[in-house]
Amino acid sequence: MRFFIPLLFAGWIPAIMAVDAGVVLRPVANMYAKSSVDAGVVSQAIYGAHVRYLDKQPGWVKVKTPDDYEGWIEAAALRDLKEGEKAYATSGKVAAVESLFAHLYRENSVNKHQPLLTVPFETRLEVVAEPGAEGGRWLQVRLADDRPAWVQRGDLSFLNGPLEIDQVIGLARRFLGLPYTWGGTSSFGYDCSGFMQMLCRKRGVVIPRDAQPQAHWSGLTPVPRLNLRKGDLLYFGSGEQKITHTGMYIGGGEFISSTAHQRPVVRISRLDEEHWTRLFVCARRLK
């Protein structure tokens, strides 16, 4: 059996974490521009993600995520990693949530108690036991706070390696109708650049977090609009230095994106619509 480990979390994380790091304990933790819930949300970190500590204030920690994004997270959403502690879900049997969401239970039953947690797509979990025959319904996992939990095998991915473009487009369609969320990086709600970052991650490439840096990133190459291919990234705004939206071209003049325009959901739009034609800035292709 092969276990898939998403690239987002496999970059800088060493086997043993330093004391200036933590692991996220909430299904989705907001990252704020300042140490206040009244400040703007700049991004998010999902359950089990490891973050570096940059600064601390009462009740707050300024962190850097594995994709080098910085923001303030409430301290209650984190567990400090001890010196010499092995990083969570970076060794042994590690499975990733493949369903849009997965319930984690205190026992291997869906009807005895409510879920301990509901975690989003891509959440990584440490598998500690696979009772019964191969292909059985339940897996036991160790949570990031060391509690045991049970998850249904059908919610997890055991595939290996990056997806092809048609597979990525098929994956993107699974998110149709999910709400647009400013700063969102999970299936609880993506923003436009968080959605594109996830889709590229499934192709095996970690691109910058925000649309503007994505469009200027050296890992992408410019593509003329007349030469678009499925999987190309599209960027919109009032100019190359004011890019405010991104989506993925899926062929036939259509693209998929998480947008706040008109109906704020992940949806498919036509590139020749007046709104998108007027705002189109450039297209990029992964090198």
Q: For residue 3, is pLDDT > 90?
A: no
User: What pLDDT does 44 receive?
Assistant: 98
DSSP code of residue 275: H
What does pLDDT average to over the chain? 92
Do 4 and 202 touch, CB atoms closer than 8 A?
no
d(CA 107, CA 183): 34
User: What pLDDT does 73 receive?
Assistant: 98
Q: For residue 10, is pLDDT > 50?
A: no
Name the burial class of residue 278, with classes exposed (0-12), middle (13-18) and buried (19+) by CB atoms within 10 angstroms of its CB.
Answer: exposed
The model's pTM: 0.91
Return the CATH fold of 165-286.
endopeptidase fold (from Nostoc punctiforme) (3.90.1720)
Task: Grade residue 85 by pLDDT with cuts at 50, 70 and 90.
Answer: confident
Do the two domains 1-161 and 165-286 of this chain adopt the same fold?
no
Tokens of 230: 């499925």
Percent of the chain with pLDDT over 90: 86
Task: Grade residue 86 by pLDDT with cuts at 50, 70 and 90.
Answer: confident
| Per-residue pLDDT tens digits for 99-141 | 999 999 999 999 999 999 999 999 999 999 987 655 589 999 9
Listing DSSP states for 129-140 in one string gives: E--SSTT-SEEE
Least confident piece of the model among 59-63, 86-90, 165-169, 238-242: 86-90
| Per-residue pLDDT tens digits for 265-283 | 999 999 999 999 999 999 9
Q: For residue 30, is pLDDT > 50?
A: yes
The arithmetic mean of pLDDT across residues 32-61, rounded, is 97
Q: For residue 43, is pLDDT > 90?
A: yes
Percent of the chain with pLDDT over 70: 92
Domain assignments of the chain as residue spans, ordered by start? 1-161, 165-286
Q: For residue 168, is pLDDT > 70?
A: yes
Tokens of 104: 């984690």
- Give which of 47, 142, 135, 50 is closest to 94, Cα–Cα: 142
Instruction: Give CA separation, 238 vs 196, 244, 250, 254, 276, in Å.
Output: 20, 8, 23, 21, 11
Tokens of 79: 């567990």
Name the burial class of residue 120, with classes exposed (0-12), middle (13-18) and buried (19+) by CB atoms within 10 angstroms of its CB.
Answer: buried
User: What pLDDT does 233 receive?
Assistant: 98
CATH number assigned to the domain covering 1-161: 2.30.30.40
Do 123 and 59 touch, CB atoms closer than 8 A?
no
User: What pLDDT does 135 receive?
Assistant: 59
Listing DSSP states for 151-216 in one string gives: EEGGGEE---SPPPHHHHHHHHHTTTTPBB-TT-EETTEE-HHHHHHHHHHHTT----SSHHHHHT
